[in-house]
């Protein structure tokens, strides 16, 4: 028999009082989940207490499942241990949804042979508007997963978890795993990939925001797609002529973290609390399909196209909708990955934008945590004049931004290998994975 096992210990809060007090319903829920996993049930015992509360244990061939409830507090404690490495989290999540849990603490332990007995702990909000609670600040509750992140970020995370650090938040939303950690700096990781480091994030965000804001004839109406940490928003709000900003991000947990975590609030300068800002918790595709007014500035700060879902955000179809929303004398910018590490991805994003009828101009900047990073500026009319100087207070970039538009010749040579990414020929993520793999 396989000695390896998985052990889930779950605290479920704000559950339905009626369901937690119904032994038969709970028995049915757990039995159904076990049957769906293909596990053999050996014994079942559920007991109702007076005046309320239920305890139940189901013995299975690979161990057990148990539940204990306190309906008056909306609280349930679940325990599941099973041998093997079957993915049992979907079944557990279905149970939590059925008992209408609003939030949970999940402790996952690897058991048995060659196991690492340090638990992985996550706080998971099961409602889109649930507020984020302060996480337990314990290094022992965070464990790296081999199936997340890239090799470079994994090396950094291993160094950090081996030394002194403070986990400010670790949890999982419906869309991704989120880690906010403080060492000598502040770092945000999504699915174990670094999103920013406070020591040098301004190099990225100033480069993302300033060229497009200076080239646009007006900054009155701004649209930001992505950027849920509020750092690009911080730079946008420095411009006094900005009157209205719509920020669209799919993940409510990131937005809530950026609005409430003191360290992140200090980093983004409380940008979400500005009355000019309007947040839309929505998929960018759905937002762009609505009835919208045109924008003077559009900033696209999507994650890298690491998979087909994210690759679908970098298509001709989506960029065409964005181009239609851009005012005649407006400007658009799109983060475009590293032109050094993934030059074909960089040029393919630019070529895809260009296919919508916009004129594009690629540029790059060194961000110490990431290396050389690329962007594409786009307008309805060809940018023939000199890029204006930065007109607002700034820290990381030189006032004269012209040097950012000088791209190394070795990177320019890869432009001929670029392709247009479309919904019917979605292949940017495959190219991304190939180029990143070739680095290592």
Angle at 223 between CA 219 and CA 227, to 5 degrees: 120
Give the 3-state secondary structure of residue 59: strand
> Has 191 been annotated as catalytic?
no
Tokens of 191: 């699915």
Q: Which of 68, 244, 280, 380 is catalytic?
A: 68
Task: Count CB atoms within 10 A of the CB of residue 24.
Answer: 10
CB neighbour list of residue 355: distance below 8 Å, 6 or more residues apart: 316, 319, 420
In sequence order, what are the beta bridge partners of 120? 108
Report whether 283 belongs to an annotated binding site.
yes
The residues near 170 (Cβ < 8 Å, ≥ 6 apart) are: 121, 122, 123, 135, 141, 142, 178, 179, 180
- From the candidates 153, 246, 251, 301, which is the catalytic residue? 301
Catalytic (active site) residue 197: no
Whether 45 is catalytic is no
Q: How far is CA 250 from CA 221, 231, 313, 407, in A?
A: 21, 16, 12, 33
Tokens, residue 328: 């005649």
Distance of alpha carbon 440 from alpha carbon 356, whole angstroms = 34
Q: Is 229 annotated as a binding residue?
A: yes
Residue 185, Cα to own-chain centre: how many angstroms?
20
Known catalytic membership, residue 278: no
Residue indicated by tokens 């079942």: 44
Q: Which of 48, 63, 66, 115 is catalytic?
A: 63
Cα–Cα distance for residue pair 181/176, rounded to 1 Å: 16
Contact 350, 342 (CB under 8 A): no
Which is it for strands 54-60 and 63-70: parallel, antiparallel or unpaired? antiparallel
3-state secondary structure of 432: helix
Which pairing describes strands 277-281 and 193-197: parallel, antiparallel, or unpaired?
unpaired
Token readout for 155 is: 């090396």
Instruction: Report the alpha-carbon distance of residue 409 to residue 412 in Å, rounded.
Output: 5
- 3-class DSSP state for residue 32? helix
- Closest C-alpha among 389, 426, 385, 419 to residue 404: 389
Q: What is the sign of the dihedral through the CA atoms of 147, 151, 155 and 160?
A: negative
Residue 79 annotated as part of some ligand binding site: no
249 has binding-site annotation: yes
Which residues participate in the annotated binding site for spermidine? 205, 229
Question: Residues annotated as binding site?
Answer: 176, 205, 229, 249, 283-284
Active site residue ranges: 63, 68, 83, 301
């Amino acid at each position: 028999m396989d000695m390896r096992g998985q052990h889930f210990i779950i605290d479920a809060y704000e559950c339905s009082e009626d369901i937690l007090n119904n032994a038969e319903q709970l028995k049915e829920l757990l039995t159904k989940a076990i049957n769906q996993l293909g596990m053999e049930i050996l014994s079942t015992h559920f007991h109702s207490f007076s005046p309320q509360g239920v305890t139940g244990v189901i013995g299975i061939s690979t161990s057990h499942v148990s539940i204990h409830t306190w309906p008056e507090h909306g609280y349930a404690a679940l325990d599941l241990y099973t041998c093997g490495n079957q993915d049992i989290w979907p079944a557990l999540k279905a149970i939590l949804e059925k008992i209408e849990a609003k939030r949970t603490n999940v402790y996952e332990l690897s058991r048995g042979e060659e196991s690492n007995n340090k638990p992985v702990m996550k706080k998971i909000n099961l409602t889109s508007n649930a507020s984020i609670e302060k996480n337990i600040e314990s290094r022992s509750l965070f464990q790296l997963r081999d199936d997340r992140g890239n090799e470079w970020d994994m090396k950094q995370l291993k160094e950090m978890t081996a030394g002194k650090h403070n986990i400010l938040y670790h949890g999982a939303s419906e869309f991704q795993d989120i880690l906010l950690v403080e060492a000598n700096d502040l770092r945000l990781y999504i699915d174990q990939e670094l999103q920013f480091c406070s020591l040098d994030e301004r190099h990225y965000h100033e480069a993302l925001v300033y060229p497009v804001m200076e080239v646009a004839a007006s900054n009155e109406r701004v649209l930001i797609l992505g950027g849920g940490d509020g750092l690009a928003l911080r730079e946008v709000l420095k411009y006094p002529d900005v009157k209205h900003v719509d920020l669209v991000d799919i993940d409510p947990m990131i937005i809530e973290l950026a609005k409430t975590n003191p360290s992140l609030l200090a980093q983004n300068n409380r940008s979400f609390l500005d009355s000019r800002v309007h947040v839309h918790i929505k998929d960018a595709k759905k937002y762009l399909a609505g009835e919208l007014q045109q924008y003077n500035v559009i900033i696209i700060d999507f994650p890298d196209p690491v998979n087909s879902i994210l690759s679908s955000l970098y298509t001709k179809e989506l960029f065409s909708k964005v181009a239609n929303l851009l005012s005649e004398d407006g400007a658009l910018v799109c983060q475009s990955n590293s032109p050094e590490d993934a030059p074909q991805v960089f040029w393919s994003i630019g070529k895809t934008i260009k296919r919508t009828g916009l004129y594009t101009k690629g540029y790059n900047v060194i961000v110490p945590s990431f290396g050389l990073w690329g962007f594409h500026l786009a307008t309805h009319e060809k940018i023939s004049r000199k890029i204006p100087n930065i007109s607002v207070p700034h820290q990381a970039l030189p006032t004269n931004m012209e040097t950012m538009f000088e791209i190394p010749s070795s990177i320019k040579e890869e432009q001929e290998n670029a392709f247009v990414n479309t919904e019917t020929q979605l292949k940017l993520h495959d190219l991304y994975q190939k180029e990143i793999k070739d680095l290592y």
